[in-house]
Amino acid sequence: MKIAIPIEEKNIETNVCPSFGRTPYFLIYNTDTKESEFIDNSAAESSGGAGIKAAQIIVDKEADVLLTPRLGSNAADTLKAAEIEIYKTKSGSAKDNIDAFIAGELSVLKEIHAGFHGQGR
């Protein structure tokens, strides 16, 4: 199984990034091989629609699960179309959250925000 996480730096002990669409990097962790892959998020520089583009990147990496503190509606729609499961991270590093997910301690992300494209709409 492949787990995707938005992260602030390219190592497994780094913090989870509070933004999904504009995170600088993603960690793709393979639970079968225990390998970590760090990828640049080319969506971060988008003028708009960053969440959709970031979701496309996650989908193309064939992730099965996304761990994120929050998510906008367009990104959520894209990930749901790809049947990717979305779980809410808790405090701690990317590694802590992977361990927590494997231990079944993370809950499904339920609150999807409207996105920041409307700027307060």
Partner 1 sequence: MKIAVLSGKGGAGKTLVSVNLAAVEQESAYIDCDIEEPNGYLFFKPKDVSVEEISVKIPVVDNELSNGCRKCVEFCNYNALAFIKDKLLIFDEICHSCGGCVLLCPEKALTEKDKVIGKVEKGASEQVTVYTGILNIGEASGIPIIDNLIEKSRSSDQLTVIDCPPGSACSVIESIKDADYCILVAEPTLFGVHNLNMVYELVKLFNKPFGAVLNKCLDGENPAKEFCIEKGIKILAKIPFDNDLGMLTSNAEIAARKSDRFKDLFSDLLDMVKKEAQNEAVTKS
Amino acid at 19: S
Got the DSSP string for 78-120?
HHHHTT-EEEE--SSBHHHHHHHHHTT---B----B--STTS-
Asked if 44 touches partner 1 (CB under 8 A), the answer is no
Asked if 9 touches partner 1 (CB under 8 A), the answer is no
- Whose Cβ is closer to partner 1: residue 39's or residue 100's? 39
Asked if 53 touches partner 1 (CB under 8 A), the answer is yes
Nearest-CA neighbor of 26 among 49, 1, 6, 51?
6
Q: Are 57 and 79 in contact (CB under 8 A)?
A: no
Distance CA 7, CA 11 (A): 8
Q: Which of 32, 34, 45, 83 binds partner 1 (CB under 8 A)?
A: 83
Asked if 22 touches partner 1 (CB under 8 A), the answer is no
Q: Which of 1, 48, 92, 105 binds partner 1 (CB under 8 A)?
A: 48
Asked if 76 touches partner 1 (CB under 8 A), the answer is no
Asked if 19 touches partner 1 (CB under 8 A), the answer is no
The binding site for partner 1 (CB under 8 A) comprises 43, 46-50, 52-53, 55-56, 59, 74, 77-78, 81-83, 117-118, 121
